């Protein structure tokens, strides 16, 4: 097994879950309905919890402990896609991102539940319920707001159009793609993207939203290689403000 390839996969997944979980938690207290404050917080906890487990697996492969890895790295050392680091914006953007990302998340973990790398397969199985629920939540909301008022449909459509180039960046391939596929660790980003397109089309067809031609959209990539938007570093600085007062202290 190519450990470098494995670590690369684990890092990008862990960083995705941490960064988006953090973004989701920003909604607590500010949501459009109290019910959504609570829902976004649950998803934030699930995602940050999942990232913690992934960093623990990395720790067992020789990487630093999870707190240090999560709270002490700079933006250029993060492998999340740029999509997850974008600010929450209005609820329409947060919802569309939640829908597009969590559909991919559900499929990714479904694939990984058959991974040849045991710890990852085990984790994927354990979080099956969580990821299924995230997707259920997103689908219900997108169907609802995506076919309600003129304003809600137009807001969601605008956010969808803005989000798609970033969403396609989720599937940015790494140099280890072939290694991961041949060793049976992961089916690869291309397969995931195909499955994802099928799923989001299915849900969007139940709403008044239209999916632009994805082949004509240029994906925004770079995140997997440490290239990020201007939003990630300030987010990380905020997240680690207290931790960095004394990284060796027990908090």
Partner 1 sequence: MYGGGNTFEAMKATALVDEDPIKLAEFEARIERGEKIEPSDWMPQLYRKQLIRMIEQHAHSEIIGALPEGTWITRAPGFKRKLALMAKVQDEVGHAQLLYGAAETLGKSREDMIQDLINGKSKYSNIFNYPAFTWADSCFISWLVDAGAIVNQVANSKGSYGPYCRALERICAEESFHLKYGHHCVIHLATGTKKQREMMQAAVNRWWAPMMHFFGPSDKISVHSEILMKWKVKMASNDECRQQFLDMYVPKIWELGLTIPDDKLMKNEATGQWEYTEPDWDEFKRVINGDGPCNKERLAVRRKAEERGRWVREALLAPKAKYVTPLA
Partner 2 sequence: MLESLDPRVNRLGLPDSFGSPFGSSSLDQFETYEAFVMTKPGKPFEHVGIVHAPNEEMAWLFSKEQYTRRGMIYCALCVIKTENVKVSAVTDNDLDVYTTIEGEYSGQEKDSFEVFHLIKRGKQHKHSGSVMAADFEDAMRSANQSIERPKTVYNVWIAKTEDIFSSDEEDADIWDTLKEKKYRDAIDYKAADKIKAFKEEQA
Give the binding site for partner 1 (CB under 8 A): 22, 25-26, 28-38, 41-42, 44-45, 48-49, 52, 66-67, 70-71, 90-91, 144-145, 148-149, 151-152, 155, 238-243, 245-246, 249-251
Contact residue for partner 2 among 31, 49, 165, 226 (CB under 8 A): 49
Given partner 1, partner 2, none, residue 149, with its beta carbon under 5 to 8 Å by kind, binds partner 1
- Phi/psi of residue 202, each to 5°? -60, -45
Give the integer Cα–Cα distance in Å for 153 and 148: 7
Buried b (16+ CB within 10 A) or exposed e, 103-137: bbbbbbbbbbeebebebbbebbeebeebbebbbeb
Tokens of 196: 């994802």
Judged by beta carbon, residue 53 or residue 103, the one nearer partner 1 is: 53
Q: How many CB atoms lie within 10 A of CB 29?
A: 8
Q: Which does 48 bind (CB under 5 to 8 A by kind): partner 2, partner 1, none?
A: partner 1
Smallest separation (angstroms) from partner 2 to the CB of 177 = 28
Number of residues counted as binding partner 2 (CB under 8 A): 26
Report what 31 binds from partner 1, partner 2, none; CB cut-off 5-8 Å by kind.
partner 1
> If binding is defined by CB under 8 A, does position 18 make contact with partner 2?
no
Q: How far is the CB of 237 from partner 1 (least distance, A)?
A: 10
Q: Do residues 78 and 228 lie in contact, with contact meaning Cβ atoms separated by under 8 Å?
A: yes
The least CB distance from residue 171 to partner 2, in Å, is 26
Nearest to 81 by CA among 6, 165, 137: 165
Q: Is there binding between residue 90 and partner 2 (CB under 8 A)?
A: no
Four-residue CA torsion sign, 115, 120, 125, 127: negative
CB 124 within 8 A of CB 54: no
Token digits of residue 98: 């939640």
Residue 66: contacted member of partner 2, partner 1, none (CB under 5 to 8 Å, by partner type): partner 1
Residue 189: CB minimum distance to partner 2, A? 25
Task: Tell whether residue 242 is a contact of partner 2 (CB under 8 A).
Answer: no
Question: In this chain, which of 97, 137, 193, 224 binds partner 2, going by CB under 8 A?
Answer: 137
| Distance in angstroms (rounded) separating the CA atoms of residues 220 and 49 | 27
As to burial, measured by CB atoms within 10 angstroms (0-12 exposed, 13-18 middle, 19+ buried), residue 80 is buried
Contact residues for partner 2 (CB under 8 A)? Answer: 26, 29-30, 35, 38-39, 42, 45-46, 49-50, 52-53, 87, 126-130, 132-133, 136-137, 140, 144, 238
């Amino acid at each position: 097994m190519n450990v470098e390839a494995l670590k690369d996969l684990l890092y990008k997944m862990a960083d995705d879950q941490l960064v988006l979980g953090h973004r989701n938690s920003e909604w607590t207290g500010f949501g459009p309905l109290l019910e959504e404050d609570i829902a976004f917080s649950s998803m934030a906890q699930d995602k940050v919890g999942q990232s913690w487990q992934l960093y623990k697996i990395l720790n067992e492969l020789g990487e630093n402990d999870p707190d240090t890895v999560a709270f002490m790295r700079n933006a250029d050392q993060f492998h999340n896609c740029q999509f997850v680091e974008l600010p929450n914006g209005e609820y329409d953007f947060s919802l569309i991102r939640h829908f597009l990302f969590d559909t991919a998340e559900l499929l990714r973990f479904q694939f990984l539940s058959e991974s040849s790398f045991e710890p990852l397969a085990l984790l994927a199985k354990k979080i099956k319920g969580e990821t299924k629920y995230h997707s259920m939540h997103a689908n219900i909301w997108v169907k609802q707001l995506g076919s309600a008022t003129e304003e809600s449909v137009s807001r969601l459509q605008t956010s969808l159009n803005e989000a798609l180039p970033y969403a396609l960046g989720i599937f940015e391939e790494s140099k280890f793609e072939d290694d991961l596929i041949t060793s049976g660790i992961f089916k690869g980003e291309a397969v995931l993207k195909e499955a994802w397109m099928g799923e989001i089309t299915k849900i969007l067809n139940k709403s008044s939203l239209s999916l632009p031609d994805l082949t004509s959209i240029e994906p925004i990539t770079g995140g997997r290689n440490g290239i990020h938007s201007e939003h990630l570093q300030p987010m990380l600085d905020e997240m680690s403000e207290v931790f960095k007062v004394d990284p060796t202290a027990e908090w």
